[in-house]
Amino acid sequence: MIEYDFVNTPIVDIVNRIIIYASQHKASDIHFDPREDCMMIRMRMDGRLNDHAKVPKMYEKNLATRVKLISKMNITESRVPQDGAIKGIIDGRELDMRVSALPTNEGEKIVVRLLDYSQSLDGIDTLGFSASNMKKIDRLLEIPNGIILVTGATGTGKSTTTYSMLSALNTEDRNIITVEDPVEMNIEGINQVQVNSEIGLTFANVLRSILRQDPDVILIGEIRDSETAQIAVRAAITGHLVLSTIHTNSALNTIERLLDMDVERYLLSTALNGIVSQKLARTLCPKCKKKRPTTNYEKEIFSQILGQDVKEVYEPVGCDDCNRGYRGRIALHEVLFLTDAIRELINDENTDKEKLRQAVYDGDTTTLLQDGLQKVVEGLTTFKEVYRAVDIDFDLERKIRKEIRAKEKEKGKKENLEVIDFNDEENENVKISEKEIKRIKDRAKKDAEKKYRKKPAIKDNDLIDAFEGLEQTEEDNKDGKKKEDNKDKAKETKEEAKEDKDNKEKKK
Ligand SMILES: [Zn+2]
């Protein structure tokens, strides 16, 4: 936490310093939280909120007023929500911020969102696309008509990627028009339209007008409803390049969503050129990251998903230059370039999900998980971060888990049937694997005890389930407090069991 000298520093300077700090440390939001005894300033960095500074109660009002003043809000009003913006140059930095004030029971809460699209202007090749994905993006941007969709949840960097593509297309021979809600960054040479549903200026309405403006490239901020989806497809069919975003998890998911939005199959199969799915994972701090051997479980995943034998991975440590071992975020990508085979399947009413899935992933499409794990191998992020970012229920990943399960079962069977001759060189592996299995069983047992307090005995099936939860155990162990809690719980369980026993004996 930073300590500001509120007694000797003018409030104007303090507010400037807070904003400059946020901008320098690439914070996405600054929160001014009124609390009972103080105002807490927090900043969101790499997706997580951190305490920044405490403001003594007596300076709270002045500080809030200053922020509202530079955001061009009504400073005499604090009972209703207000929106504002800060645009200007502070300390040589050009800043673009959106500000919101909300009356709460403790006072007025103000949140400043820093819009930093400087990365979009650095060029699309700085966004962390793998070489093969970058090639596909280049090919996609060369096609003069059709739809390119960028998908992902809120806050996954969709806008940065979309703006980067738009910047790449922004040449003097193209007429580019956007319809956005909100317009997140002003780009020189592009006509940007802000949606305003209050006066009937919806995505669909603006799009109809845009089509009469002789556009080459149209950016639709987001496809939210079927009307917008249908106009987007028709615009693409009639010779325009359409860029847009949609809130889905993966390429496969996106096709299904569009079909659900009543987009005609034959139109979609012709119009859609590519889908870029994206997630964010925190980047390891290059200064303090540390190598460690991969666990068996991780090894299995690397071998199954990447076909690589990965012996070491990096883990976060933490230093003065980073936030608990992480600094910044990197995008994980899945880029689908639509092939004729996929187009045919989309057009075919009888195509089932599995067929489509195979066509999408059996080609040269790298899944989000594969891209993420490759970035773990390269030491950019961690196994845990990728697992947090990529959907665990992902079909492919499910298949892998099933296979691991089968393998484990098989191993168990062999162990029981074979008589081990330790002098036999061929059985050397079995000897090791037996030891390994014992270790896994011990850990799984511990984990199972933690998870199912009333179920101390562990069956074969439980072992597999517990094995899947090993990741969690590791995290728990690192977290000292949780460990203590678990200890206490274990203690309680033992005591309860003892009590039960005692009671039974008394009854007898
Ligand atoms: Zn560090």
Task: Note the pLDDT tens digit of each residue in 37-46.
Answer: 999 999 998 8
Lowest mean pLDDT among 139-143, 309-313, 427-431: 427-431
pLDDT at residue number 413: 58
The 10s digit of each residue's pLDDT in 197-227 is 888 888 888 998 898 899 999 999 999 899 9
CA dist 158 to 196, 277, 312, 465, Å? 22, 9, 32, 35
Under the banding of pLDDT at 50, 70 and 90, the label for residue 119 is low
CA of 319 to the centre of ligand 1 (A): 4
CA of 325 to the centre of ligand 1 (A): 5
Q: Is the dihedral of CA 79, 22, 158, 353 positive or negative?
A: negative
CA of 278 to the centre of ligand 1 (A): 25
CA of 260 to the centre of ligand 1 (A): 45
pLDDT at 310 over 50: yes
> Is there a contact between 400 and 484 (Cβ–Cβ < 8 Å)?
no
CA of 45 to the centre of ligand 1 (A): 14
* Percent of the chain scoring above 70 in pLDDT: 77
CA of 378 to the centre of ligand 1 (A): 17
pLDDT at residue number 463: 42
Per-residue pLDDT, averaged over 169-196, amounts to 89
pLDDT at 291 over 50: yes
Under the banding of pLDDT at 50, 70 and 90, the label for residue 490 is low
Average pLDDT taken over every residue of the chain: 81
pLDDT at residue number 93: 67
Q: How far apart are CA 254 and CA 163, in angstroms?
A: 20
CA dist 33 to 19, 50, 102, Å? 15, 12, 10
> Is there a contact between 313 and 376 (Cβ–Cβ < 8 Å)?
yes
pLDDT at 326 over 80: yes
Under the banding of pLDDT at 50, 70 and 90, the label for residue 181 is confident
Per-residue pLDDT, averaged over 385-391, amounts to 85
pLDDT at residue number 431: 44
Lowest mean pLDDT among 1-10, 309-318, 463-472: 463-472
Could you tell me how many helices (H) and strands (E) the chain has, helices first?
Answer: 19, 15
For 44-157, where are the alpha helices, taking DSSP H only? 57-70, 118-121, 131-142
CA of 299 to the centre of ligand 1 (A): 26
pLDDT at 96 over 90: no
CA of 160 to the centre of ligand 1 (A): 25
For residue 191, the 8-state DSSP code is E
pLDDT at 394 over 60: no
CA of 156 to the centre of ligand 1 (A): 23
CA of 14 to the centre of ligand 1 (A): 27
CA of 328 to the centre of ligand 1 (A): 11
Identify the residue with better confidence: 448 or 343.
343
Q: How far apart are CA 127 and CA 335, in angstroms?
A: 13
CA of 225 to the centre of ligand 1 (A): 44
**Which residue's structure tokens are 């009543």?**
262
CA of 322 to the centre of ligand 1 (A): 4
Out of 121-130, 258-267, 294-303, the most confident range is 258-267
> How many CB atoms within 10 Å of residue 124?
20
CA of 315 to the centre of ligand 1 (A): 11
CA of 157 to the centre of ligand 1 (A): 23
CA of 316 to the centre of ligand 1 (A): 8
CA of 381 to the centre of ligand 1 (A): 13
pLDDT at residue number 185: 78
Per-residue pLDDT, averaged over 235-241, amounts to 93
Per-residue pLDDT, averaged over 54-62, amounts to 94
Radius of gyration of the chain from Cα atoms?
28
CA of 314 to the centre of ligand 1 (A): 12
Q: How far apart are CA 67 and CA 61, in angstroms?
A: 10
Helix axes 428-451, 470-478, angle to 10 degrees: 70
Q: How many CA atoms lie within 13 A of 417 on its CB side?
A: 6
CA of 406 to the centre of ligand 1 (A): 40
pLDDT at residue number 503: 58
CA of 323 to the centre of ligand 1 (A): 7
Backbone angles phi, psi at 86, to 5 degrees: -120, 125
CA of 380 to the centre of ligand 1 (A): 13
pLDDT at 425 over 60: no
CA of 445 to the centre of ligand 1 (A): 35
CA of 12 to the centre of ligand 1 (A): 32
Backbone angles phi, psi at 296, to 5 degrees: -60, -40
Q: How far is CA 486 from the centre of its chain?
A: 30
CA dihedral 187→192→194→195, nearest 10 degrees, is -130
Identify the residue with better confidence: 280 or 184.
280
CA of 284 to the centre of ligand 1 (A): 8
CA of 329 to the centre of ligand 1 (A): 14
Residues in the chain: 508
CA of 72 to the centre of ligand 1 (A): 38
pLDDT at 440 over 80: no
Q: How far is CA 434 from the centre of its chain?
A: 39
CA of 16 to the centre of ligand 1 (A): 27
pTM above 0.85, yes or no: no
